Amino acid sequence: MPESSRLAAGNAILLISFPHQLLHAISALRYDRMLRATADDTPATILFWSYQAADHLSGAKVRQICRRALQDFPWIELLFPSFLHRMYCLSPYRLLTDRSSWIRKKFGVGNCYSCYYSHDVSADHTAQALMQAFPEARRICYGDPPGFLYPTRNTFLRNRVGRWNTLKELVWESRLRGIKNWFSPQESIIAVDFRSFDREGQPQTAYVLPNAVLLDTLERLRMDFPEITPKASSFFSALTDNECSPYLLLLSNFTASGMTSRQNELELYIDICQSYVPLGETICIKPHIGTPQKLLFLLLARLSDYRAFVFPVAAQQLPIELLPELIARSHVLSVSSSSALIAHLFKSDVTHVLTEDRIRHFFKPAYVAYMLKANKAIVEKASTARLGVVRGKTHCSMA
């Protein structure tokens, strides 16, 4: 990471952990500037902190994707901490005060006027470290509303009044020593309005991104996106040029989130395919960035009665929103809030396949009630964009 950055001139800083957050974060930044009559090309900085430490290696695919995707946004500086910085200075196992001190030292005290981040419910609290580094900055949450899909939990407060549920929680909570004030978002700028789902812990001021801003940002991200390898290129061509439409199964990261076991997540996807896809049809599997390769191997082995494919490795990191042509030609099967976003953004037909019965059967009891509530909100929002409408395309398998 450079010793100095454009933050020295006064700046906005966007915390991102996954490539698909580029669309949400940059759209939120641009719309916020429209509302405040600030020039769109005012310098900004993206701080990329990945949950996968290997993404911070010099040749990591994620780094390449992000740098190429931002070619049409020259006023945005991308700061990718080195592997050493990710493992030591910004390690989630360090005290939060130490991490925030390092961020403040790198960017300069008082040189950040606004912080944008997706949420602060993860145990690592990297977003909180950023806000602690710049306590005077505006705090804006982008993407889904705070707490959506994951219960809004302020572990800092629970440390004062609650009990320790596990030894792991005790270890995570111990990193919060020395924190006097816990920061929450002052505003949220969201792509899909899920605020009616649960207003607890959400900021008073919330804005819903206009489709025009999202689509313009999307096209600019796609303009110089990384070339797909020849193998991946022929893969997508075979899917989109075929006379019939493949089924596009979008996976989530329920196991990594602790909501279910790997075996149950596997059985969930098998049940979905058997319920929605006729035998012999083509299934294109788009892994979540947190999907382990072991689960993909087991899933393919169980789908031997179908023409099942996993996205080529070169394209697995690509945010699905950056492939609208594939979305338009596919029967999309989704288990997450992507159902609502895709339907809303592209007016595409998408089937939300996470039902109440599946939640009760495949998820841990502690998460069932919350997931039922969140899932209902997804279905309701996606339904307003013609969720699950049958387009009458021919179903057939790839030759």
The answer to whether residue 394 sits within a structural domain is no
**Taking Cα atoms as reference points, which of 134, 125, 136 lies closest to residue 96?**
125
The answer to whether residue 172 sits within a structural domain is yes
Residue 392: left if φ>0, alpha if ψ -120 to 50, beta else—which one? left
The answer to whether residue 1 sits within a structural domain is no
Please state the domain count of the chain: 2
pLDDT score, position 391: 40
The answer to whether residue 25 sits within a structural domain is yes
Supply the range of the domain harboring residue 378: 228-383
112 and 140 Cβ atoms separated by less than 8 Å: no
pTM of the model: 0.85
Do 59 and 15 lie in one domain? The reply is: yes
Do 22 and 145 lie in one domain? The reply is: yes
Q: How many CB atoms lie within 10 A of CB 293?
A: 11
Spatial distance between the Cα atoms of 397 and 47, rounded to a whole number of angstroms? 43
pLDDT digits (tens, 9 = 90+) for 31-68: 999 999 999 999 999 999 998 899 999 989 889 889 98
The answer to whether residue 223 sits within a structural domain is no
The answer to whether residue 191 sits within a structural domain is yes
Do 301 and 194 lie in one domain? The reply is: no
Do 159 and 290 lie in one domain? The reply is: no
The answer to whether residue 392 sits within a structural domain is no
Do 271 and 200 lie in one domain? The reply is: no
Tokens 């800083």 belong to which residue?
13
Do 169 and 262 lie in one domain? The reply is: no
Spatial distance between the Cα atoms of 210 and 191, rounded to a whole number of angstroms? 8
Do 199 and 243 lie in one domain? The reply is: no
Of 157, 182, 212, the residue that ends a domain is: 212
16 and 25 Cβ atoms separated by less than 8 Å: yes
Q: Which positions of the chain have pLDDT values less than 50?
A: 1-10, 153-164, 387-399
Do 237 and 370 lie in one domain? The reply is: yes
pLDDT score, position 381: 84
**Taking Cα atoms as reference points, which of 47, 64, 20, 5 lies closest to residue 217?**
20
Give the CATH number of the domain where residue 114 resides. 3.40.50
pLDDT score, position 234: 64
The answer to whether residue 333 sits within a structural domain is yes
pLDDT score, position 158: 43
| Max intra-chain CA distance, the chain | 63
Do 235 and 172 lie in one domain? The reply is: no
